Amino acid sequence: MQATADVTKKECSWSGWKGQAIDLLYWRNVKQSGAVFSSVLLLLFSLTQFSVVSVGAYLALAALSATISFRIYKSVLQAVQKTDEGHPFKAYLEMEIALSQDQISKYADRILLYSNTCMKELRRLFLVQDLVDSLKFAVLMWLLTYVGALFNGLTLLILAVVSMFTLPVVYEKHQAQIDQYVGLIRTQVNSVVGKIQAKIPGAKRKEE
């Protein structure tokens, strides 16, 4: 019973995080999504101009400047008003931030699951378990060589962040039209793949 309760608790926690991420990407709360989006973009653009060490140091200095200034301000205010409200960050200092054993176990299990799945998929592709899938993967890698020649990693990361915060909203507003075009493209791709499978010996999938 205890094990079942722990599993249920983990699933509820994961569902909660997933729901928050969806709300963030779909701009359910415009202020919150805007703050996260602008902060991440500002960080990434900063990394294009400065090193990771410099950006980290500047962020730490900015945070320390804000907290030290607020701490001094509250101390002076308490001295002038002759009040004893205590440390202004007391609530945050007493907040529990350590990861529990259950949380560490949950994240470790998920990382292990994704790692094993990825390794199995890469083994299947590189050892040509399915010829068509391996050819698709080869074409994808070939296209990525051109992408890598045009963009660096940070530029791709910036484009990925912009896409994450814009494409879901666009899809939600124009879902019918997008699904129609995606269906047409998928039909054409399946048709081409079917013709390739028919012409290449051993490329045809085994029927399940």
pLDDT of residue 10: 53
Closest of 7, 47, 8, 5 to residue 161, by C-alpha? 47
Is 95 contained in some domain? no
Q: What tokens does 96 get?
A: 């529990």
Is the distance from CB of 133 to CB of 123 less than 8 angstroms? Answer: no
Q: Indicate the SS3 state at residue 26.
A: coil
Say how far residue 189 (Cα) sits from the centre of its chain.
Answer: 28
Is 178 contained in some domain? yes
CA–CA distances in Å: residue 32 to residues 39, 116, 117, 160:
11, 35, 34, 19
pLDDT of residue 38: 92
pLDDT of residue 208: 41
pLDDT of residue 114: 93
Is 7 contained in some domain? yes
Is 1 contained in some domain? yes
Report how many domains make up the chain: 1
Residue with tokens 């939600």: 172
Is 132 contained in some domain? yes
pLDDT of residue 9: 52
Q: What tokens does 97 get?
A: 């931030």
Each residue's pLDDT tens digit, 36-47: 999 999 999 988
Q: Could you tell me the residue range of the domain that residue 122 belongs to? A: 1-81+105-196
Low-confidence ranges of the chain (pLDDT < 70): 1-16, 200-208
Residue with tokens 């007391």: 90
Closest of 101, 120, 123, 122 to residue 112, by C-alpha? 120
Q: Considering the entire predicted model, what is its pTM?
A: 0.63
Each residue's pLDDT tens digit, 132-173: 889 889 999 999 898 888 888 888 899 999 999 999 889 888
Distance, in Å, from the CA atom of 133 to the CA atom of 135, rounded to the nearest integer, reads 5
Is 206 contained in some domain? no
pLDDT of residue 70: 92
pLDDT of residue 6: 52
Is 123 contained in some domain? yes
pLDDT of residue 16: 64
